[in-house]
Amino acid sequence: MSGKRRAAVGRRRFIRLAGGAAAGAAVVGGGTFTAVATGVFDKPTPDPFANMPRSLALSLPGRAGGAYEMPLPPLPDPLDEGTASIPSAPRRIPYADSKPDPRTVENNIPTVLPFEFKRNGYTMVKDLPESLRPWRNRPTTWANVTPPLSSVYHLNTQGVYMYWKPTTTSSPPKPGPVGYDHPVGQIQFGLGCITSYRTETDPTRKALFLKRAKDQANRLITKRVQTRGAWYFPYPWDYKHAEHSGIDYKAPWYSGMAQGEAISLFAQLAMLDGVTEQERTLYTTAANGAFASLLRADDAYPWVVNKDRSGYLWIQEYPFKTPGTGDYTYNGMIFAMFGLWDYYQLTGNELAAQLYDGACTTMARYFPLLRNERKFSYYCQTHRIPAHTYHHHHITLWMQLHWHTNSSVFAHQMDMLVEDAPASSVAKGAVIAIGKGAYTLYRVDTKIVTKPDGTKEDTGEYYENAKTGAGHDKILGTKKVSFAKPTQAPVDKRRRIIGAGIWYRISAGAYKGWWIGEAWPNVFLRGEHQPFNYRVQRTLTIPAGRDVTAYSFGTNNATGSTRSLKSDTEQTFQFDRRAVVNGRAMCRISKGELAGYWLPANQVVTDGR
């Protein structure tokens, strides 16, 4: 209870400072301070740059490589927060023992949708660049093409990616002696190998990447269950989620995420130049069989597709025992949707296009239930538990939905997710500028991990411990400082502190480990940070009578220029890029007299929203 009160008091104090943005600093290369402060800029001056030189506020550093891109989060472990166990009395899994017959499979593909569902006319981009297509952003590295035997996920003697359930509770866990099939793990490993195969130039490495991908596909084919005129890929172990009621399965069980991702694996293999015609036929047959499972309704078992009470289509990562019920998991559905995208490229099947339209319609419609404003988004619709480990996956998945459809709907929704909780990493050597004035620094309860050498490392990341109540971005302490002149400080984190604002963690100097709040133009990260380029021109509007300033930034302390855009009439511009520029979310005008100028995102309306 005392911890909660302390955190609440800290946040209230934070809100009073600088209109809701806390401040603080470390002295780097000069700058004097006194440990005295009562608040930040209690009497705002008419000049916003009174405490910060224009040479810093209107200039970007000439960093090599340009803007700092948002890093792609690693694929989540499907077993996070859950417990896998081997059945003590396993049920027989009805594996299909015979080799697949292409003619039989083709005859079994349904020719109609499983049911009618809502569609808003989303279409797949036909000329999408190779690098933006599904899974191309997740190559398997050469170092991981043969995962180490010390990992709980490694290959068996046939080259198949298996889950070796630990028999002890050691940390890190050590793999047990028996490997078990993990369909999603096998599929994602195989897709990563295909991505690497496409770009690899060394013939030996290229051949191994392709072999690994085919090994996974062949294993899935061997272990398939053929029922209801479709192929299903079973999980052969029991599984129970710690927090999500309803996810309590006895083997075998099936997942719409695995079904959709399997389509991607088979379809991408079938379209590779490096496979034989016999293999192409096999993988096309497998893609057809897996696709059929997304055309089977929830009126029999197994099922992975249903529509909700409002008529929206769902591909259930975790279908529940009762038909039509499930976890309604967002990320699992989008990963499955990638399979529809790949299948349409392979076959041109119109039903795949209609399912994809329906799935996009669902994601766009239910985005308000996924979003958790100024916090981490929700993992699923059924339980609505904030998922800090999945929020940045949602950002990248919405970015891909925008790429794959050219829809500004998904771009706008992605913008909101980024604003709610941006990725925390910054460029190496990142520096913040700090104006003269008084600030408060904060200590925050963030995640500490044990490194292989036994030492502890404070990651600066959010965490929560349900047993002890630790984490939750609790404020552990404060420090008042004052600067007589502008200064700068190195930082290694920029992220939202839950319940507060965007803060930076100072990485060196007297205040290493302390956090300081972003407050433009008095505390900001120098440079262009985590930009997003849009596939199509987007529209921004300045309402009539609103005084908005446009910025053209200089480089290396060369002062840029500004222009006031206040007008008695509404003004509309096209923009193609959004980024955090010197500590502000901004949109870059792409056409017309002001092309290249940036406008503050919070002062304009984008795409009519």
Are residues 75 and 188 in contact, defined by beta-carbon separation less than 8 angstroms?
Answer: yes
Residue 297 banded pLDDT, cuts 50, 70, 90: very high
- Give the integer Cα–Cα distance in Å for 249 and 561: 61
- Give the integer Cα–Cα distance in Å for 197 and 218: 17
The arithmetic mean of pLDDT across residues 332-352, rounded, is: 98
Residue 25 banded pLDDT, cuts 50, 70, 90: very low
The tokens for 452 are 């292989």
- Give the integer Cα–Cα distance in Å for 118 and 596: 40
Residue 519 banded pLDDT, cuts 50, 70, 90: very high
Q: Look over the chain and give the mean of its residue pLDDT values, rounded to a whole number.
A: 90
Are residues 537 and 590 in contact, defined by beta-carbon separation less than 8 angstroms?
Answer: yes
3-state secondary structure of 432: strand
Convert the pLDDT of each residue in 62-97 to its tens digit.
875 678 999 999 987 777 777 888 887 778 899 998
CB atoms closer than 10 angstroms to residue 210:
20
Are residues 390 and 329 in contact, defined by beta-carbon separation less than 8 angstroms?
Answer: no
pLDDT for residue 64: 59
- Give the integer Cα–Cα distance in Å for 248 and 82: 10
Give the percent of the chain with pLDDT over 70: 92
3-state secondary structure of 337: helix
Q: Which region holds residue 545: left if phi is over 0, alpha if psi is between -120 and 50, else beta?
A: left
pLDDT for residue 454: 84
Q: What is the DSSP string of 406-422?
A: --HHHHHHHHHHHHHS-
CB atoms closer than 10 angstroms to residue 556:
10
pLDDT of residue 347 exceeding 90, the answer is yes
The tokens for 63 are 């960093």
Quote the Cα angle for 294-300-306, to 5°. Answer: 45
The identity of residue 248, as a single letter, is D
The tokens for 286 are 């497998």
The arithmetic mean of pLDDT across residues 449-463, rounded, is: 92
Q: Which residues pair with 56 in a beta bridge?
A: none
pLDDT for residue 477: 97
The arithmetic mean of pLDDT across residues 447-454, rounded, is: 88
State the alpha helices, DSSP H only, in 96-182.
Answer: 102-108
State the Rg of the chain over Cα.
26
- Give the integer Cα–Cα distance in Å for 311 and 294: 16
pLDDT of residue 404 exceeding 60, the answer is yes
- Give the integer Cα–Cα distance in Å for 124 and 532: 20
pLDDT for residue 111: 95
- Give the integer Cα–Cα distance in Å for 456 and 446: 12
The arithmetic mean of pLDDT across residues 361-385, rounded, is: 97
pLDDT for residue 32: 32
- Give the integer Cα–Cα distance in Å for 174 and 336: 31
Q: By CB neighbour count within 10 A (0-12 exposed, 13-18 middle, 19+ buried), where does 466 fall?
A: exposed
pLDDT for residue 65: 61
